A and B are shown apart, each in its own frame.
Chain A
Amino acid sequence: MTVQYSELIQPERVHGSLYTDPSIFAEELDRIWYRTWVCVGHASEVARPGDYVRKKVAAQDVIMTRSTDGEISLLLNRCAHRGNLVCEDERGNSGSFRCPYHGWTYRNTGEMLGYPYNQGYGGKGKLSLGLGRVPRVDTYQGFVFASFAADGPSLKEHLGAAAGELDRLARLSPEGEVELTAGWLKHRAKANWKLLVENETDGYHPQFVHGSVFSVTGSHIGNLYSDKSTAVTRDLGGGHSENDLRPEFRRMGTPMTWFGTSEAKVPEYVAKMRELHGKQAEEILIEGAPHVMVFPNLFVAEISVFMIQPTAVDETVQNVTAVQLKGAPEMNRRLLSQCVGSVGPAGMLLADDSEMYERNQRGMAARMPEWLDIRRGVGRERVDENGFRVGAANDETGMRGFWSHYRSLMEREDAR
């Protein structure tokens, strides 16, 4: 191992080269992106047998398919013959795929169906070649995860406490299911992927970076992260972290405040939830959706779902879509509208975040002071009743959790 990660990643600071060194980026692909569980998409994107969508895991082009028996596969979009892309369309419905180059044809589970003029290969069924398959595919609350490692921790083990946050999102649907069916915005930033990940649960920046939109819309979001806020930042372990805003929403105590609205605006939804959940409905409607960063690339920001895709050491695509709640059309229209206003290249929140990622990346071209500081709140951290580290709403507890897990993955001796 040439890079000494223990020197670059210290409890209260991390080295700038982690964001700028191409050789570190190459090691990250091997040790994180093509090894641990990475979120690829959602089962609702391939709802019917034969449905497929193209996805990316870092630089690799992947086809997410649903077979006739309902199983989801992740196939590498690379013909076994000459390495050509097999699928060109972003989405479609086909039980089999035919490479346009020489006509080799595969089932949507990857198995080869045949090739033209088979006498050149000695006849039918002589080649045991198929499309590459991501070795491990698993889903949680419909979120589809890929691991390129044949073995290792299960998805449940990987998600750990973050699973509960995805449950919290799903329970907002009257049918207990999230759907990601609104299509994706793809927002490119000239910045290292870790700047995005760290920013997602950084409660210190909203009042500064997003002050412009808070001031013109009268949004209360800024207050959630102020020094007076009772919200907390939690290191959920495994590199996952959250801004737990529930203490603030419970203090306010009114249903739908989490969504910046009132129950009068979404009466059918609120009535349906009360009918379904009885007394517990109030808790669900008051506490709202999670704000959680699931290592390394799934970010749920209440109403929006982001999947982060690194493309180079200094370039990242942030894919984003609106949360849609199955069985809640009244909510879904509003979720879509709010999400479109907030995220993506022109979003009133994310365009400014993205500007900061890019300035941050350019800033690091300067070699001094070399380090990025992540110590905010170290002195006031506590351990909660479940054993997780908790800091104030605008503390860097989440970042420290991220780096600790990152270091453990990058230092693994058996990583290659």
Chain B
Amino acid sequence: MDQWIIASEFAEVAVSLDTEANGPRLRLTDLRGGRVRYLDALELEALAWLPDERMRELLDPSAGRWSDGRRDG
């Protein structure tokens, strides 16, 4: 399986094409945190069209991984 590593001083993510399911998916592995996520074509398309503003919201550390558990958005 071909795999690419996308790395910077801040994060390190492995990206590969997964063909084990009923259709192709992109497999993302956060090499530092160990978390794996699959993205299907429709999700990737949505990401491609995601407004920069929404992407900035996702990058807020408390939006997901380091949220304090309260849903007070």
Contacts and interface: CB of A to CB of B under 8 A. Distances in A.
B20 A94 contact: no
Interface string B43-67: 1000000000000000000000000
Contact of B40 (A46, A94, A105): A94
A50 B24 CA distance: 10
A49 interface: yes
Contact of B21 (A50, A89, A97, A105): A50
A207 to B, nearest CB: 42
B41 interface: yes
Interface in A157-177: none
A377 interface: no
A247 interface: no
A93 B42 contact: no
A51 B21 contact: yes
Interface in A88-139: 89, 91-98, 105
Contacts of A47: 21
A105 B22 CA distance: 20
Contacts of B23: 50-51, 89, 91-94
Interface string B20-33: 11111100000000
B22 A92 contact: yes
In this complex, the interface size class of chain B, counting residues with CB under 8 Å from chain A, is 10 to 19
Contact of A53 (B22, B25, B41): B22
User: Among the interface residues A49, A89, A94, which one has the most CB atoms of the partner chain B within 10 A?
Assistant: A94
Nearest to A50: B40
A52 B40 CA distance: 12
Given A49-B38, A50-B38, A96 B21 contact: no
| B contacts with A: majority SS | loop
B42 A98 contact: yes
Contacts of B42: 94-98, 105
Interface string A37-52: 0000000011111111
A222 to B, nearest CB: 40
Contacts of A46: 22
Contacts of A50: 21, 23, 25, 38, 40
Contacts of B24: 93
Contacts of B20: 48
Contacts of A89: 23
Contacts of B22: 45-46, 48, 51-53, 91-93
Nearest to A49: B38
A4 B37 CA distance: 58
Nearest to A51: B22
B39 to A, nearest CB: 9
Interface of B: 20-25, 38, 40-43
Given A92-B22, A93-B22, A96-B42, 20 more contacts: A45-B22, A46-B22, A47-B21, A48-B20, A49-B38, A50-B21, A50-B25, A50-B38, A51-B23, A52-B22, A53-B22, A92-B23, A93-B21, A93-B25, A93-B40, A94-B23, A94-B41, A95-B40, A97-B42, A98-B42
23 contacts: A45-B22, A47-B21, A48-B20, A49-B38, A50-B23, A50-B25, A51-B21, A51-B22, A53-B22, A89-B23, A91-B22, A91-B23, A92-B22, A92-B23, A93-B21, A93-B22, A93-B25, A94-B23, A94-B42, A95-B40, A95-B43, A96-B40, A96-B43
5 A-B pairs with the lowest CB-CB distances in the bound complex, closest first? A92-B23, A93-B23, A93-B21, A48-B21, A51-B22
